[in-house]
């Protein structure tokens, strides 16, 4: 998951500042559930992470903690739902997460690139390769605006390789070759942040 630690700390500050004293209980519980979910995810317990992220979402909804908290929890819930193979729920969560953040950051601003990359990988695992290509083509410009390629060059290169794979699957071999060239050769260095890949849907 990209930016998990930094995102959690930042969002907790945003949520607590936004609600003031009115919904402090919900804000604290949102934070507790989100931390528990992140810990479960790190340990590979995706079912527990899914449940906790959903609980965090309900806390944000009931406490009226704002679109950013709702979007973040839905995004993380979608990732874990995707890991359990429920692609329909994951897709819906990512799209709703995008819609919630649009009034804050504008179209494809803020964290949108993260949602689009997840959608792209989800579609690849689902066998919806043209949807995956379109998702990547939306994600990359949004990421580049935030200088993602400079901050996480190895992750960025791997995402380019994944995009090239999607392009090849729809017959765009020349474009795929160009994307691979831009990605450069693989190195033995670990990625700056882990990328989760969804289990392939068996048709």
Q: Are 68 and 104 in contact (CB under 8 A)?
A: yes
Inside any domain, residue 188: no
Tally the domains of the chain.
1
- 45: CATH: 1.25.40.10
Distance of alpha carbon 173 from alpha carbon 151, whole angstroms: 29
Query: For residue 114, what are the contacts with CB-CB under 8 A and spacing of at least 6?
Result: 2, 3, 75
Side-chain-facing half-sphere of 63: CA atoms under 13 Å = 27
Tokens of 101: 């953040």
pLDDT for the residue 5? 41
Residue 122 near residue 83 (C-beta atoms within 8 A): no
Give, rounded to a whole angstrom, the gap between the first and last alpha carbons of the chain. 27
> Per the domain annotation, does 116 fall within a domain?
yes
pLDDT in tens, 25-45: 888 899 999 999 999 999 999
Q: Is the dihedral of CA 133, 97, 150, 40 positive or negative?
A: negative
Of 65, 76, 159, the closest CA to residue 111 belongs to 76
Q: Which helix (H) or strand (E) holds 152?
A: none
Q: Which domain holds residue 152?
A: 4-183
pTM equals 0.88
What is the tens place of the pLDDT at every residue in 47-67? 999 999 999 999 999 988 899
Assigned domain for 191 exists:
no
35 part of a folded domain: yes
Residue 25 has a pLDDT of: 85
**Is 195 among the domain residues?**
no
Whole-angstrom distance, CA of residue 130 vs CA of residue 128: 6
The pLDDT tens digits along the chain (203 residues) read 444 443 544 455 445 555 454 578 888 899 999 999 999 999 999 999 999 999 999 999 998 889 999 999 999 999 999 999 999 999 999 999 999 999 999 999 999 999 999 999 999 999 999 999 999 999 999 999 999 999 999 999 999 999 999 999 999 999 999 999 999 998 899 999 999 999 998 76
Residue 193 lies in a domain: no
Residue 200 domain flag: no
Does 29 reside within a domain? yes
């Amino acid at each position: 998951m990209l930016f998990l630690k930094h995102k959690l700390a930042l969002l907790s500050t945003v949520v607590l500042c936004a609600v003031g004293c009115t919904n402090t209980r919900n804000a604290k519980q949102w934070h507790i559930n989100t931390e528990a979910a992140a810990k479960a995810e790190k340990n590979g317990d995706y079912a527990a992470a899914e449940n906790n992220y959903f609980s965090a979402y309900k806390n944000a909804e009931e406490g009226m903690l704002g679109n950013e908290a709702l979007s973040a929890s839905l995004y993380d819930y979608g990732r874990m739902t995707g890991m359990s193979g429920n692609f329909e729920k994951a897709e819906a969560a990512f799209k709703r997460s995008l819609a919630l953040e649009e009034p804050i950051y504008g179209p494809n601003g803020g964290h949108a690139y993260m949602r689009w990359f997840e959608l792209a990988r989800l579609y690849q695992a689902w066998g919806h390769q043209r949807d995956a290509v379109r998702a990547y083509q939306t994600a990359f410009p949004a990421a580049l605006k935030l200088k993602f390629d400079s901050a996480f060059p190895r992750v960025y290169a791997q995402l380019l390789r994944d995009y090239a794979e999607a392009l090849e699957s729809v017959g765009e071999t020349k474009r795929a070759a160009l994307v691979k060239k831009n990605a450069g050769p693989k190195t033995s260095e670990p990625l700056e942040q882990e990328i989760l890949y969804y289990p392939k849907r068996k048709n």
